[in-house]
Structure 1
Amino acid sequence: MTSLRSDTPAGRLRAHRADTIPRPELSPTAIEHLRMMLRTRSWTLTEWLSAAVDSEYLAPAVLVPDLMDAAVTHLEHRESLLYLAGPRGQYLAAHNPDWAHLRRVGSRRDELWLSADTNDRMAWFDYIRTVDPELAGEELDIAWDTADTASRLEFLDHLDIGLGEHDHGLLERALDDQSVTVRERAIQLLRQLPGSPFALRMRDRAQAWIRLETKPLRPRLAVRLPGSLDEHALRDGIEDVHYKNKGIRRWWLRQVVTASPLGLWESMTGSPRAALAIPVETQWRDVIMESWTAATVLQQNTAWASAFLDRDGRNTDRRIVAIADPRERVDYIVAGHADNYLLGVDGIALLDGIDRPWPLPIAEKLVAALESEAQLHAATGEDLGIHSRHSHYSTLRSAQARFPFDATALLLEAASRSGDPGWQRAFTESAVNIEQRRIRLAALHHR
């Protein structure tokens, strides 16, 4: 059995259950700030809770019931809130049916897992997948044969959390399930595991079907598909049917390339960028590029995502943009490649997942883009419109939650230059809210 992950709020909660070292309590000022942020669902809550958990703070008894109520509705912050609630919160969860699903117990023979209630079992499974996914997988493997089809499918639907090589054996068993739906869901999960036996079988097929030709012209990928599929291919979910009028053989190719480890193409061509640049036989190029896109998303491959971004820029699939290395995305933005679309949905995808606070050069780029919008809007003399502060509400909120503290000067300078009263107020309010963020974090650590 693997050890618990102690780098998450859930893992720390379990680790501290037997810890005799007292944890520092939140100060009255920090408690007041936390209540306010929970009440308003502040965008700054993630940053504050992360700092509180990193410093191993504990909530005083009077605050614990409020934290338990908040953990019910604030799903994205649940584990951090339970960590702050500590042992008192777990005691209340054990004695209050409304909070029973917030219990964070997790022994192999835990009563929740042995319960006849499906909700209890799923609550145990979901939690253990966050702290010890191998243990959860081992227990599911034991229970697999006695579970009905609906339960097996539901467990597979919850297997995304903690999905890894420890799940290979269970998913291989699921490929032989009598239920088509169970088999299909298992295949969807296996496509995310490039080191699984399933992926290696797909790799072998891809190598047999696609080869690198080096003569007589420059290197290219050539495709030679079989005339039929064997029973092993059918077991691996390669459907012997037409799909969206694209042709049966093109559908075979897409399924195999999508499920093959992306490292195969790197070994053929040298790198992800080289693979995306290499010529492919015309009739197969589109399907291979579509398959590489899908594989990049499924395998969450940052190197391939960065290569797509480098090649396609703004036209990069948004699902891929968010996977690209955050440092490369920062460099891409700072270099000015996204200047003309940074405030749009494509720009939001670029910013997704960049560590907070954002680097100051990112703040500078965003403030410059917002100032341009303010100038365009001032010329209209209207309160609303596509260039108004209202149209950029989400960006302004993100700035307040993610800008570095020294970006307040940028925003105040933008306010002083703005000829539009609405934008002037928006820049000023953003600067004030960033300063409030700084004050709340400082108060968290002040005893």
Structure 2
Amino acid sequence: MAALHFSQALLPDGWAQGVRLTLADGRIAKLETGVEPAAGDERHATALPGLPNLHSHAFQRLMAGLAERRLGPDGDDFWSWRELMYRIVGEIAPQQMAAIAAMAFVEMLEGGFTRVGEFHYLHHQPDGRPFDDPAEMAVALAGAAAETGIALTLLPVFYAHSGFGGQPPQPGQRRFVNDLDGFARLLEASRRALAPLPDAVLGIAPHSLRAVTPEELAALVGMAAGPVHIHIAEQVKEVADCFAWSGARPVEWLLGAQDVGERWCLVHATHMTDAETARLAASGAVAGLCPVTEANLGDGIFPAVDYLAAGGRFGVGSDSNVRIDAGEELRLLEYGQRLIRRQRTVLAAADRSNGRSLFEAALAGGGQALGDTPALKVGAVADIVALAADPLGAGDAALDRWIFANGRVDGVWRAGRRLVSGGRHIARAAVERRFHQAAMQLLG
């Protein structure tokens, strides 16, 4: 058994001082408050539960920072970025996938994320043929999670079409595409791939309404009991194309066609009417917001004020992994709302600071979306983030200064094992070396 002492910790019912956590078998066996550290205790400043990262494409970490040139004479947007992404990642092999994912997972842990929802759609060989094991790439992801220690919610993606109404896939999508029978085999193989990970969660991810038909979507939802994630309403063109196909906007169509509830996560949901916003909030589903990627791709800004006023739930994700930092996702979410409303502290709840409001909402929503909500309480898995000591960081100010100023993550424990010390993952050097080798092989 090991004991950690924190000057303060954010517990489910709020801040507590002088918190001593005794860890055993990867869980919090005992929690004391208002106590002094005992001899031999590790001593730290501020403890938080680990934050879930509800939406990641780990393989896209390969191209971070490599798409910052104008990609066409008529301007650059999501669709031109997507074509470049297809070209860059088209040759990734399983061993390289493991190296790239491990780098992303290391950076997630260093940034305060302790569980990742991997929205995984790079399934097949570069020429589109299936691997002998349909989950070969998922095995690589599971290996990267085991090596780095991050908790994994795997979301195998069903992708069959290039556009609304069942349009045939494009050549650049050949590594993604399955039919329903092939996807059922992939799902079962993915279950086996996760078996060595003790607290892994398996969900399912219809890629988007443009990539599945209504009939396929209905069949997919019944294939798994875990979370259901889907990209939706990220782009204005996507909304227009959906309306031309169905006479309804994407979120409107989905809420009418499926029993969308608490197991669902609608990723992005950027472009909604007031009516769609209210209906999504009332559904109990989670909006999966990725502010850094949404800004990088020029997607737009989610209607967070109206959504939260209607009781909506959200979590945050690193999506394209162009930059991985839990605090920055929360900061940019708030700053986007400030820019469009020309106000300050827009998303703060009445009884707590902005940083705490954002953190607790993302903790609850992200945990719901990934099938596991971290908490500092007896019996919970010991997923703990320690912020660096800050003489001005008492109570809510610790979160405000981490998210909005120069606060930093000092230590991270996952299932009771310390993985990050002094802000650096214990395996960073080896993981970074393999990542750079894979990057040079693929990018030259």
Whether the TM-score (by the shorter chain) exceeds 0.5 is no
The two structures have a TM-score, normalised by structure 1, of 0.29
Higher relative CO (CA 8 A, sep ≥ 6), structure 1 or 2?
A: 2
The two structures have a TM-score, normalised by structure 2, of 0.29
Which structure has more strand as a fraction of its residues?
2
